[in-house]
Amino acid sequence: MRVLVTGGAGFIGSNMVRALLNRGDDVVVFDDFSSGRRDNLDGLPVCVLEGDTRDSGAVRKAMESCQRVFHLAASVGNARAIENPRADSEINILGTINVLEAARHGSVSKVVFASSAGIFGALKHLPIREDHPAEPDSPYGASKLGAEKLCLAYARLYPIDVICLRYFNVYGQFQRYDAYGNVIPIFANRILTGEPILIHGDGGQTRDFVHVNDVVQATLKAGDAEGLSGPFNIASGTTVTIERLARMMIDLNGGRTRIEYGPPRKGDVRDSIADISAARSAFGYEPAVALGDGLREYFLWAQKSMSGSRVDR
């Protein structure tokens, strides 16, 4: 099968590409390389097309002869969206419209869209089910929710299946340090460069971290699910405090890093844990990587990748 992965040179995307190749798919990667890296695809037998999802013509060309689309290209993160909400919305909403339009006019039977737990905003109850109120409190969450609504509208209007996967806090190999990014590579970078870890808030806030291998498994299963559309949470279904996470990572380096505390960040929720029963029931998603094992694997990868540099983009 010929498949398109938008954002295929990025963290999750490049892991997806490897999994698709391993099962014998013919893979096209479409990426503008604003955050994705060419070396994430080194040695892989893929067709790489450089372009921006805001360019409808480029999207249509990339999708030619593809039967399935994994739409992972996005502007990611609350901080980046707050700084530049216009670009965030253009990439996440207009880019998604272009993908959906190209898909419905082409030979695509299924689109899997990478959404985010950021759509929920301030939480009313835990664990978070798919029917939890979606009231995002950041431009990023709002743009992802808008893109989701478009995806589900297209699934109702046209003969195309669209699944929206609400990824929670994803971590793992190929996730490099970025000041806007996930807390795990930020902590790893500080540990490896001998700087103290900075926790925003008191450290008691909780998160549901899910390993990228589990996210890839879920995304592949969603893509293979026939006649299925809708939103699904993709997470581990477990929770850990940020302070506990920091201490687990410090222990991986022999306990030689201190922790400092700063003010909470705008747009951050206090607690988060997902109910993943819908994805388990609909397409057999089952997380397999425990946090301790995943952190150990990631830290070993980060040591090789970061090589002690402050910023590795």
Active site residues: 140
Helix axes 139-157, 95-105, angle to 10 degrees: 20
On the 0-12 / 13-18 / 19+ scale of CB atoms within 10 A, 90 is middle
DSSP string, 1-36: -EEEEETTTSHHHHHHHHHHHHTT-EEEEEE--SS-
Distance CA 90, CA 34 (A): 15
CA dihedral sign, ordered 96, 106, 154, 167: negative
Distance CA 230, CA 208 (A): 21
Burial of 196-228, coded b for 16+ CB within 10 Å and e otherwise, reads ebebeeebebbbbbbbbbbbbbbbbbbbebeeb
Distance CA 131, CA 312 (A): 38
Phi and psi, residue 299, nearest 5°: -65, -40
Beta strands 161-167 and 206-207 are: unpaired
Distance CA 76, CA 24 (A): 29
